[in-house]
Structure 1
C-alpha cells in the first residue's frame, strides 16, 4: 500500500515539475526540449516549441506569440529540414551550440558559437529573441548566439535588418514558400552595402522594389515611415554596422513586419485585441510605380499619369516603338549627348524618390553648393542631391551612371539636380513662346466654347426624325438603309429570328444571306417604342462607335432612321453575350480558365482603347456581362454605346443630374452623386472580372453570415481578408488552373473596385498588371455599393438586368 502511495506521489510531483518546466523561459546544457514541450518567455509574450504549419504534417522548431489565439509564427529554426514525425529533440552541446535532431539522431539544424561558455543557457526573451548566453558572463547583451541574427520572414521591434561588418553577417528577412512550407521563398528584403546604403527587396536574385537610401528621416521612397506615437525608426551606418531597426514607443502595441510569399511584398501588421485579428497598417510596394526600374534608365514614373512612365527632361525613349507599346524597360537616352567641352548646368527634379545608389559617391559633411561644384568638375557626374534632409539639409551624394528607378511622390519626396547642357538660350526662347502663345491659346479656347454653344442651340432647333434622317446622313458616317430592306432581312422582325432583348430593345439575326454586308450574318438592334432611350442615345451610339476600330469593340455596319424606327445593324456574334456563358451551368463549363483569362484581357484592352487610344476619350458607363459579346473564337467585344460619353483630352470627370447604367456595376461616386470618369468604367470592369472568375452575379444575394455585406463584393473581400481567395473560383473550372494567374486577377479586381476613384488603377495599368509579374499594391476596402442602393432601384425582376436609361444633362468639371 505504501509503495502505491509513494508511486502516486512521485507521478504527481513529476507532472507538477513538467508543468512548471513548460512555463520556464530557458534550459541548461543538461536539459533538452522535446516535441510537445515548450519554453515561454518571462513576460509570457512568446513561446518556443514544435509546430506543423498550415496543412502540413511536418514538424518545425519555431517561435510564436503566446497570448494571440491566431498562431502567428515569427521565427523557424529548421526551415529547410523538416522533421517527419514528433521525434524532434533540441539540446545544447559541449561547444555551447544548439543542436536539433530527429528520431534517428540525425542533425537537422544547428548553430555555431565563436566561443565556449562555462555555463551555457538557452533563453527565450520577451522580445521574441532566442539567445544562448553564459550565466558566468554578467554582460547584458553578450550573447553567444541569437535568433535575431538569423531572422525568418518576420522583423520584430529591436531586431536589426542589415550588416555586422565585423563578422560580415547579413541579416535579411525571407518569405516562406507557402503557408504550408516555411522554407525560404523567392521574396527577400535587406539593406544593400552601397556607398549610400539603401533598402532593397528581391524576387529571387532580381530587384523588384527599392525603398531607397536613408535620408535622415526615412528611406527615400518609403512614405509610410512617418513620425508616429507607436514606434520610431533608426538607421545606423558606421565602420562596424549598417542596419535598420524600429523600437516600440507604446509597449502595449503588438506589431510585426513581414515579407510574404504572395508578391504582396513587405507588410506591417498590428494586432487589434477588440477584433481579435491582425490588421494591415502599411504595405510596400504601394502601387505600380514602386516596381523596380519600371520606366528603365532615365525614366520617371508618375502614378497619376496615363501612361505612368515618361522620360526625364532632356531625354527621349531609347526605342520609340517599344515605348509606345508600353514596354518601358529600355528606358530613355539624352536628346543631346553631353559634351564635356561645353558648359553644363543642372535642372531640379522635385518631390521624387532618389535613384538607385549603386553607383554613387557620398560625403556626409559637404553642403549642397560644394556638392554642385564637385559634380561639375567631373564630366561623368550625372546628378547630385542632399544625402541628409533631417536638419538644415547637409551631405552630398553624386550619381555617375544612368538614373534608375525614380518615381514622383505625392508628398515627402526629395529634390535631385540633373546635369544638362547649358540652357539659358533655350529658357529665354521658352519664355518668349509662352508670353506670345498663352493669350492666343486662351482666345482659341474661348472661340471654340462659343462656337460649341451655338451649335448646341442649332441642334435643338432642328426638326424631328423625318427630315433629320436626311440631314444626319453625312454626319453619322455610316450607310443608311431603308426600312423595307431591314424588315426583309429579319423576316419582318419575326420572333423566330429574335436573339434577345435589352434596355435598347429587341435584337434580331438576319435570315437573308446576300441581302446585307456581303452575305455575312448580321445582328439588327431595333429601338423599342417603350425604351427610355431616344434619338439622342441612338445618335450617340452611331457617332461614337462608327469611328471606333478595335478588335475588342463590336463593329457597327449600318443604321436605319425612317418613320418612327431607329435601327442599328451590327456584325453578328455567334456565341452571344458573356452573361449567357458564365452564369449558365451548362454553358459555363465550356469556358475553361484560359478562355476566361483571354476574355478578361480582351475586355481590358477594349476599355484601354476607349479611354486612351481612340480619337476621343470615351466613358462607356454601362459595362456589364450582357454588354460583352463573344465571336466565333470567343474573342470578347464590348457593345452598347448608347450611354457612352466622350471626353476632351483635358477633361477627367463629368457630372450628370440623372443616373444611367446598371445598378450593381455602377461606381459609388456615380450612383450616389452623378460623378463619372474613366475610373467609373474601371470599377465596372472590376465587378465584371470578379464575376468571370467566380461565375456569380454581383447582384446575387450570397450566403455570407460572417459579413454584413452579402453581395459578391462583400463575399470576395471576406475571402481575401481570411486568406481563402481560391475558394472564390467558379466550381465549373475543374481543369488545370494557373492559380497564380487566378489570384492575380482577383487581386486586380479588388484594386479596381476600391471606394476612392483615385485609388483605382487606370486601364493602362490594369492591362500591365494582368499580364505582368510585378508587385501589386494591397487593395483598400471596396465599395459595398449594392447595400446602399434603395431596394426599389434593383429589385424589379423585369428590369434587374436592364440599364437605367434616363436622358442625362451633363456638366463637365475639371479635377
Structure 2
C-alpha cells in the first residue's frame, strides 16, 4: 500500500513539473498533448493545439505569446482533428508526427535531410524567430538541421524567413492564404517567385498572376519602391546557382512585425502596438486598381492619378477602340506605326515606372546600358530594354522579347524603360516636343508681361490705399499732448473692424490673459492676425508703444512679422501676418495631424526655431529673452516653416548684459526652468531650457506638462532622462518616425542628446544657442547630459518661492507686456 501511495505521489509530482515548467524543446521521449504548449526561450512564440475563430476543429500551430489568436504557422492545415486527444511527437528518425486518439498519423513532416547519415539525437525546438526546427543535436549548427517550419510557410512571412527557391533540393517556399478566418486549409491565393525569365515576386490565383511586385533591381522590387532599407528593416534578395530567395530582418528585436496573405489574397503588414495590445496595419497590397495584374493590357501604362487610369504608350493605339472607350482596357494596345527593324529603329525613354512582366525576358549581369541597347537593336524580336541593377548609376542588361504587360506609373521610385519605336515615329515625337517647347516659352513670356503689368497696377493701388492711412503714429491720446514717431504703418480702427467683422467671435483665434487674437481680411484680400489688447491689461499706452517700437525692429524669417498697429478709441491693436497652419501644438500633439509631420519637416521646424532664437539672443540689434517659448507660440506658414511669436513676455537686455532677476514671474509651466520659476532669475539659458523641452516634444509627440509616467511619476523630461540612462532612447521617439525613410536613427538620437543638454538643472551647464546650432548641424562629439530640471511632475513649484506672484500663462498665439529699453 505504501509503495502504491509513493508511486502515486511521484506520478503526481512528475505531472505537476511537466505542466508547470515552460519548455521550448521536445525529444522522442516527450510529446505535446492538447492543452500543453512549447514556449520559445524569449517568450515570443508559443506552439500547441488551437481552434481558429469559432471552429471546433483542432490544429497544431504557432502563435504569438502576446496575441494568442494570431497563428503564424499551421501543421495539419488540410487534416484537422475533431477532438482534444491529439498528440505531437518527434520520432527517432527525426520526423514530426501528429497522432489522434487511435494512434493514427494525422500529419507528419517530410523525410528529414539526413544525407544518408544516422540520426543520433533528434530534437524539435521552438525558436524566438517563430521557426520550429528539428535537428540532430546542436541547434546552432546548420549541418544538424533535419527539418524546419520556415521551409513550409502558411499564410505568414516572418523576419529571417526565406521566401523563394532552393535550387539544389527543388524546395519552393511560398505563402498560401487560408480558405477563411476559421479554416487554415490552403486557399486560392499564393505568393512566391516566378522563375521564368528574370525571377519576380507574384501573387497567384490558381495558375493566373493576380498581383505582380516585379523583379529585384538591387534596391527593391520594381513595383514596391518603398521597400528600401531603413532603421527598422534590412532587406536582402539572393540569386545564385544554388538559391533564389528574399528575406527581411528586424534591426530592433523589441518590435514585432509580420506580413500575412489574407483569405482575400491581399498582402498586409502588421506591427504590434504594446500600448493598445493590438496589431496596427502598416501597409497593404492591392490598394488601387493599378495593382491588378495587366489591368491596362499590353503596351499600355496604368497611372492611378489620372482619369482614365489607362493610356496607350506613345506610338500605340487601342487594339479594340470600342471596348477601350467603354473602360474595358484588358485588350491593351498595338503599334500604330510598324517597326522597321534594320531601318533605323530607336528607343523611347519611359521614366518612373514599374518594369513590365519579366517572365519572357533575358538578362546579363555583366553588360552596360549602351551594350544592352545595341544588343536589342540587333534582334528584331526585342521589344524593350532596361538596367538590371539601378545602384551606382546602373549596370546589367534586361531585354524583353514578348508583349510589354503590367506597366505602372509610380509616384515614388520607379525605373527607366527604353521601348523600341519606329524611326519615323521618333522623328514626329521630336518635332512635337520642339513645338511644345516653343509654346511653353511664348506662354511664359506672355505670363511674365501680364504679371509685371499686374504688379505695377497693384503697387499703385497700394500706394493710394496707404495714403489714406496715417504713416506715422501720433500720440493723440497722450494726456500731455506730445507726439512721438513709431516708424510703423498705422491702420485705421474702421479698417480693422471691417476686416474682422467687428471682432466677431467666429473670427477669434485665441484668448489669454493679455487679450484676444482675431483673424481678419483686408480690402485687398490679405489675411491678417489682429491682437486686441485687453482693457484690463496692465500695459499702458506708453508701455504698449515702446514695445511695438522694439518689436518692429526685429526682422527674421523665423519670427512672426509685425505689419502695423492701431491706437484709437481706447483700443490698442497689433496687426501680424496670418499663419494658415496655425501653431505647432495643433500638429505634434494631435494623433492624426502629427502623421503629416515627417522627420524632414520636424527637423526643419527645430532648425528654424534654433535660427530664430540665435537671432534674438546674439544676431539682432537688441538682445531679447523670449521667456515664453512653447509649442503654441511656434506658428507655421504655408510651407510649414516655423515662426516664433508672442513676444509679450520678452525682456530686452543690453548687448553686454547676461542675466537679470524679476519679482513678476510670467510664462508657462512645463517650459520654465527651475531658476526662473523658483527665484525669478532669467537669462538666455531660460530660452535654451524651453527650446530643449520643445525638441523632446517634437521628437516624441508628447506634451511635457501632460505626460506622466504612472510608475515613476515622471514628466516627459524625467521619462526621457530615464530612457537615456537606461540606454533605451529609441523608446522616446514617435512611432510614426520609425517608419520614416527620410531620417536616420543616429540623427534622431543626436537631437534627443542635444535636447537633454538644453534642459539640464544648472543653467551654466546648458549650451548657448550658437553651440546648439553647431551641435545639430555637425558631427562634433557631445558632452554627457546631467539630470534635467523639474525631473518629476510634482517638482514644478517648491515652497521656497511660493510667496512670489505667478501670472497665468497666455493660451493664445500672441500676447504682450512691457519691454525694458537699453
SS in 2 for 1:347: strand
Q: 1:130 to 1:4 in 2, by over 3 A?
A: same
In structure 2, distance between residues paired with 1:189 and 1:428: 43
Cα deviation, 1:481-514, whole Å, max 9, x if unaligned, reads xxxxxxxxxxxxxxxxxxxxxxxxxxxxxxxxxx
In structure 2, distance between residues paired with 1:370 and 1:181: 53
**Cα displacement (A) at 1:144:** 0.5
- Structure 1 residue aligned with 2:413: 412
- Structure 1 residue aligned with 2:810: none
In structure 2, distance between residues paired with 1:218 and 1:138: 31
Task: Please list, as runs of the form range in 1=range in 2, the aligned pairs for 1:755-774 lying within 5 A after superposition.
Answer: none
In structure 2, distance between residues paired with 1:380 and 1:338: 10
Say whether residues 1:391 and 2:392 are aligned partners.
Answer: yes
Q: 1:310 to 1:93 in 2, by over 3 A?
A: same
Q: 1:401 to 1:138 in 2, by over 3 A?
A: closer
Cα deviation, 1:76-100, whole Å, max 9, x if unaligned, reads 0000001111121122234321111
Task: Please list, as runs of the form range in 1=range in 2, the aligned pairs for 1:161-310 lying within 5 A after superposition.
Answer: 161-263=163-265, 265-310=266-311
- Structure 2 residue aligned with 1:79: 77
Cα deviation, 1:695-720, whole Å, max 9, x if unaligned, reads xxxxxxxxxxxxxxxxxxxxxxxxxx
In structure 2, distance between residues paired with 1:443 and 1:39: 76
TM-score by length of 2: 0.52
Contact 2:383 2:403 (C-alpha < 8 Å) held by counterparts: yes
- Structure 1 residue aligned with 2:90: 92
Q: 1:8 to 1:349 in 2, by over 3 A?
A: same
SS in 1 for 2:6: helix
Q: 1:253 to 1:431 in 2, by over 3 A?
A: closer
- Structure 1 residue aligned with 2:10: 10
Cα deviation, 1:549-573, whole Å, max 9, x if unaligned, reads xxxxxxxxxxxxxxxxxxxxxxxxx
In structure 2, distance between residues paired with 1:407 and 1:212: 11
Contact 1:191 1:197 (C-alpha < 8 Å) held by counterparts: yes
Contact 1:89 1:100 (C-alpha < 8 Å) held by counterparts: yes
- Structure 2 residue aligned with 1:36: 35
Task: Please list, as runs of the form range in 1=range in 2, the aligned pairs for 1:418-567 lying within 5 A after superposition.
Answer: 418-423=419-424, 425-427=427-429, 429-431=431-433, 433-434=435-436
**Cα displacement (A) at 1:431:** 4.8
Say whether residues 1:57 and 2:56 are aligned partners.
Answer: yes
**Cα displacement (A) at 1:287:** 1.4
Q: 1:130 to 1:434 in 2, by over 3 A?
A: closer
In structure 2, distance between residues paired with 1:157 and 1:217: 18
Contact 2:139 2:145 (C-alpha < 8 Å) held by counterparts: no
In structure 2, distance between residues paired with 1:15 and 1:338: 80
In structure 1, distance between residues paired with 2:132 and 2:361: 38
In structure 2, distance between residues paired with 1:180 and 1:302: 37
- Structure 1 residue aligned with 2:104: 106
In structure 2, distance between residues paired with 1:159 and 1:196: 22
Q: 1:289 to 1:428 in 2, by over 3 A?
A: closer
Contact 1:218 1:225 (C-alpha < 8 Å) held by counterparts: yes
- Looking at CA atoms only, which structure, 1 or 2, has the larger radius of gyration? 2
- Structure 2 residue aligned with 1:349: 350
In structure 2, distance between residues paired with 1:157 and 1:437: 54
Q: 1:375 to 1:16 in 2, by over 3 A?
A: same
Task: Please list, as runs of the form range in 1=range in 2, the aligned pairs for 1:315-334 lying within 5 A after superposition.
Answer: 315-334=316-335
Contact 2:300 2:311 (C-alpha < 8 Å) held by counterparts: yes
Cα deviation, 1:330-366, whole Å, max 9, x if unaligned, reads 1000001212242111110000001100111111111
**Cα displacement (A) at 1:285:** 2.2
In structure 2, distance between residues paired with 1:70 and 1:109: 23
SS in 1 for 2:392: coil
Aligned residues: 448
TM-score by length of 1: 0.52
Task: Please list, as runs of the form range in 1=range in 2, the aligned pairs for 1:662-673 lying within 5 A after superposition.
Answer: none
Q: 1:240 to 1:4 in 2, by over 3 A?
A: closer
SS in 1 for 2:308: coil
Contact 1:224 1:282 (C-alpha < 8 Å) held by counterparts: no
Q: Which ranges of structure 1 fall in alignment gaps of 5 or more residues?
A: 447-667, 669-815
Q: 1:135 to 1:435 in 2, by over 3 A?
A: closer
Task: Please list, as runs of the form range in 1=range in 2, the aligned pairs for 1:617-636 lying within 5 A after superposition.
Answer: none
